[in-house]
Structure 1
Amino acid sequence: MMKDAVNTESVEINPVDQVRSTIYQLLSSLFAREIDHKTLHDLTSEQAQQFWAQLSSESEFKADVNTLVAELARLKTDKALLELAADYCGLFLVGTKHSASPYASLYLTDKPAKKGDEPLLFGEQHQQMTQFLKQSQLQVQSEFPEPADHLAVILAYVAHLCTHSTEAEQHDFIKANLANWLNNFVAKVTEVDTGNFYQALARLTYAWVKSDAEWLESESR
């Protein structure tokens, strides 16, 4: 639907994995950058409405999908778009106590942060994700100047894995690099988000990843 945070190549894949990859790519794109007019058009097109309706048919996704669709329908003016962009900036681009930084390293560090400490970026998780990308002959897009352990990059990489690896490999990656910190990130977004869009997006992402991991586990037995 939209360009994500990682450069990937196209291959012929089965329909189930195509849908899974598309969902991960969509979630990645929404965490990668603010919603602009083109993105809004894509997200509210007839094709997108069918996609949202299909996704909301699953009970665990319904409430958050409905919230996202309702919030998107409210974005009828430049002012509304700017306000949502301000929410994005305050949540994900500014490192304060009122933000929810989307970097795995901030949730997986063994050492608790002391007051006044700067968040450790480009650390172990960044290096690890960079290695994963390199092994798959991928790279973070040059216009996305973020550490590789950014949630958008990890989700885009899982989208790639959906079409390039086994169910067992996908499950192991999600368990080791996403499922082990995503819940804490969602809790932080829910705590500090003053709007509805991004906390619904975060909850939907967690619910989707949890559901997909369970499906992968059953498929790889």
Structure 2
Amino acid sequence: MMPFSREERQFVYTWLSNMLGHELSASQLAQYQQGLFDDFFAFLTEQGFQAQVEGIQQQLQQLKTVELAHLELAADYTQLFLLDGSSSALPYASAYLPEAQLACHFTFLEALLVRFQLQLNRDKPEPSDHLCVYLELLRQLAEVDDMKTYQQLIQDALLPWLLPFNDKVQRVKTRTTFYQQVVVLLILLLQADCQN
């Protein structure tokens, strides 16, 4: 993998946040199925993520044969991320980190939220340890080119809980494996980015 530019990092993390922050609408799914993201997928393939891109594209292709595919994908999203912790893979660090690590973890996270003047959406009460908060922080760190903190966020604050999160994601039974493929891509991107 070639090192990402600042703009590429920002785009990738915005895309991942959009993919994992909420279910795709019918129009968003149609955009993927019509090829509007083919250039982005080609970029990821060139970066060495061919298997993951093919997996995502295969799921998108299979959804073309499903009536009301966006509702099926929404059901998968709900099953994966929105039910209780025994049924779903909750996208929160606190669901996976040991209790003894949480205070230090949240202190680091809160300092970054303050630094970038990020406030959580009060209309949708989400805890600060939601996966998309981390993705937004990565986007912000890439924007200011603070690679030391960027690497620290990935290695010390994100991967330690994303790996068990992914294990659970892969065990949840859904009609498609679309979101499972996206989560694997996220982890592989983070791991590769840390090595560059």
Give the TM-score, by structure 1 length.
0.76
2:6–2:145 Cα contact (<8 Å) kept: no
- 2:149 aligns with 169
RMSD: 2.2
- The correspondence for 1:151, drawn from 131, 134, 143, is 131
Provide the rounded CA distance (Å) in 2 between the counterparts of 1:172 and 1:126: 14
- Give the paired residue count: 189
- 2:118 aligns with 138
Query: Displacement, 1:143?
Result: 4.6
Identify if the C-alpha distance between structure 1 residues 42 and 154 changes in structure 2 by more than 3 Å, giving closer, same or farther: farther
Give CA-to-partner distance per residue, 1:119-151, whole Å, 9 cap, x none. xxxx74556534421221122234542111111
Unaligned runs of 5+ in 1: 1-14, 112-122, 216-221
Identify if the C-alpha distance between structure 1 residues 170 and 46 changes in structure 2 by more than 3 Å, giving closer, same or farther: same
Which residue type is aligned with residue 164 of structure 2? N
Give CA-to-partner distance per residue, 1:83-137, whole Å, 9 cap, x none. 11011111111114221111011111246xxxxxxxxxxx745565344212211
- The correspondence for 2:186, drawn from 191, 196, 205, is 205
Structure 2 SS opposite 1:63: helix
1:105–1:126 Cα contact (<8 Å) kept: no
Unaligned runs of 5+ in 2: none
1:100–1:189 Cα contact (<8 Å) kept: yes
Q: Which has the higher contact order (CA 8 A, sep 6+)?
A: 2
The farther-off stretch of 196-205 and 141-150 is: 141-150
Residues 15-34 of structure 1: matches in 2 within 5 Å? 16-34=5-23
Provide the rounded CA distance (Å) in 2 between the counterparts of 1:143 and 1:164: 28
Identify if the C-alpha distance between structure 1 residues 47 and 80 changes in structure 2 by more than 3 Å, giving closer, same or farther: closer
- 2:71 aligns with 82
> Identity over the aligned pairs, expressed in percent?
32
- The correspondence for 1:73, drawn from 41, 47, 61, is 61
Provide the rounded CA distance (Å) in 1 between the counterparts of 2:172 and 2:20: 16
Bigger proportion of residues as helix:
2
Provide the rounded CA distance (Å) in 1 between the counterparts of 2:53 and 2:122: 31
Give the TM-score, by structure 2 length.
0.85
Identify if the C-alpha distance between structure 1 residues 127 and 74 changes in structure 2 by more than 3 Å, giving closer, same or farther: farther
